Homo-oligomer: A and B are copies of this chain.
């Protein structure tokens, strides 16, 4: 997807990865009406408990995360989003936002009216299926996070998160020169893995000493994804890279 492609081409790419689309399906997606919008770093796209918005947002560039905050304060990051991801498909049907969504970087989105998307899904079964499959994959990713948070030690946990991030960036076409820059602070990594930022700091130092990650002044990069993957017990099956229809 080059810079001069229309924004909806990013959505076509995403949905095509969730199910086979005919040329007419792709044309219909490209014809969707939308409004682009830019969010600054740290700004909220939605907040838990708020009434659902009347549109769904597709990430065009930048990164975002979903998170929830407990009564006593600590926050848990529950999802990460990048180019092509649909941030809030829930808005199609649910009344209230079930989490916060916040920009991790400067973020460009395309907003699609709920009714336009529902109409498209009603007319084009293949598109409806791709959207549905996308929510199934989201749930699968969530299960994988539960395992990560609940049953792995800090080192493996952080490594696993980084592997998932890199793998998804590659799938989204965001790998540049084989390296991956992770757009998260140590505190955010901690919030996504159920650790404190202090411990994430120590864990990253350890990973860097083994050459599994590369740390610059204010960024974190991955180079040797292979070695990191085996340390992380990373098996990308749960990301459902191959979604072609099961044999009848």
Binding site for B on A (CB under 8 A): 19, 48-49, 51-52, 54, 66, 68, 70-72, 74-76, 78-79, 89-91, 93-96, 98-99, 114-115, 122, 125, 128-129, 132-133, 135-136, 138-140, 142-147, 149-152, 193-194, 233, 237-238, 240, 242-246, 248
Tell me if A93 and B147 are in contact (CB < 8 A).
Answer: no
Least distance between A248 CB and chain B CB atoms (Å)? 7
A-B contacts besides A90-B136, A99-B140, 16 pairs, CB < 8 Å? A48-B237, A52-B246, A68-B146, A74-B151, A78-B143, A78-B146, A93-B133, A93-B246, A94-B133, A94-B136, A94-B246, A95-B242, A95-B245, A122-B125, A146-B146, A151-B194
Least distance between A40 CB and chain B CB atoms (Å)? 25
Tell me if A237 and B98 are in contact (CB < 8 A).
Answer: yes
With A93-B136, A194-B151 already in contact, the answer to whether A76 and B146 are too (CB < 8 A) is yes
Contact of A151 among B66, B75, B96, B246 (CB under 8 A): B75
Least distance between A111 CB and chain B CB atoms (Å)? 16
Residues of B within 8 A of A193 (CB): 150
Task: Closest B residue to A99 by CB, please name it.
Answer: B143
Contact of A142 among B90, B96, B142, B233 (CB under 8 A): B142
Tell me if B145 and A93 are in contact (CB < 8 A).
Answer: no
21 contacts between A and B (CB under 8 A): A48-B237, A66-B143, A76-B146, A76-B151, A78-B143, A79-B143, A90-B136, A90-B140, A91-B246, A93-B132, A93-B245, A93-B246, A94-B240, A98-B237, A98-B238, A99-B140, A135-B136, A146-B146, A149-B150, A150-B150, A151-B194
